[in-house]
Amino acid sequence: MNNDESKFLLGAYRSNGRDADDPLLATALAQARTDPAVGEWFQRSQAYDAAIAARLRDVAPPAGLREAILAGGRASRGARGRWRNPAPWLALAASVAVLLTAAVALWPRPAAAAATRLADFAIEDTVHGNHGSHGVAAGALQASLSDSNHRLQSGVPMDFAALRSTGCRTLSFAGHDVLEVCFQRDGQWFHCYIVRRADFPKLPADLRFVEHARLASAAWADASHYFVVVSEGGLEAVKRIL
């Protein structure tokens, strides 16, 4: 089974873990555990599916939906082949339309979904990554980020190519390079992840926050780069350095 076949099967795996014992998925799950590329993709896919499920659980059905459905059922039994009372069916159709509209509104657009996946990737790496940057360029950036007077949204002075070529920690996300630099402020550690906007032209440039358990991230962009900063200090700690 190749990676594409594994991903195809794992795309049907429910994020609540109910399919863990499914023999059809056993080989694909084993490949996700042993192949880093499939495992990384599977983690992002599961996080995305869980986020969508959480959003849909927040969609409240319109008041009276149950009554409208029951009324429609009674009307269909008594219609005898003729639509005598369209009102219940119209109410039901309207209710379904409201639910569909709400679900579409909550469903993330491709750009927003990509931003969420990148934030999830950064958060996951913050927890499990082997951190550490090297080289003069990385050290200079680390010093700048550690300056308590420097607000990150005012600009991050950096050269992506120089950082990568002189030993800055480099990861891969969706086939492109991601640089990571750790820095500390007021005793709190932060992890800054940087990608080139040319590699991800559809990522939204506006400021976005994501919280996951005890971690929080902020993401934003300048003309050339997209940044994600993650901290275990929570959302307020992240906001203070922006």
Q: In angstroms, rounded to a whole number, what is the distance separating the alpha carbons of residues 125 and 216?
A: 13
Cβ contact 202:110 at 8 Å: yes
Residue 38 or 77, more confident: 38
Segment 137-164, tens digit of pLDDT: 888 999 999 999 999 999 998 999 999 9
CB atoms within 10 A of CB 114: 16
CA angle at 116 for the pair 99 and 175, rounded to the nearest 5°: 130
Mean pLDDT of the chain: 80
Q: In angstroms, rounded to a whole number, what is the distance separating the alpha carbons of residues 184 and 179?
A: 17
Segment 13-36, tens digit of pLDDT: 877 777 777 777 788 888 888 888
CB atoms within 10 A of CB 205: 14
Query: Which residue in the block uniquely carries the two structure tokens 């402020």?
Result: 185
Q: Which pair of tokens denotes residue 118?
A: 């990148």
Q: In angstroms, rounded to a whole number, what is the distance separating the alpha carbons of residues 23 and 30?
A: 11
pTM: 0.57
